[in-house]
Amino acid sequence: MVEQDIINYQIGITTLPAGGWPGNANWAMADKIGAILLPAIEQAAREQTGVMQGLGVQNWISIGTDMFSVMMIFTMPGVNVRNPSIRIYPAGLEARN
């Protein structure tokens, strides 16, 4: 069993290949599922943004570190910002192999 986490969307995919499948079949399955699932998730996210464009980031924690604070230290050193806000905007960029 292999679990693929899609951290950006807080979802996961679990594949459980059995039988005579090749050892890397789980990755191929995750790629196929992701190719269908991710565009649908991104479209749903665009539809749910409402009046404000983009997706609002409420919490940004990485390995136990509050990245909002880190962002403010590096982008605006010495400025006392009380409620920083981050929005993510879809750019429509796609990876090419």
* Residue 88, token pair as written in the block: 């993510």
Q: Given the structure tokens 């509050």, which residue do they identify?
A: 66
Q: pTM higher than 0.95, yes or no?
A: no
Assess contact for 38 and 8: CB atoms under 8 A: no
- Report residue 85 CA to chain centroid gap: 18
Q: Which of 38, 26, 12 is nearest to 94 (CA)?
A: 38
Dist. CA 73–CA 80, nearest whole Å: 10
| 11-57 residue pLDDT tens | 777 766 676 766 666 677 777 887 888 888 878 777 776 666 778 88
Assess contact for 86 and 60: CB atoms under 8 A: yes
pLDDT at 3 over 60: no
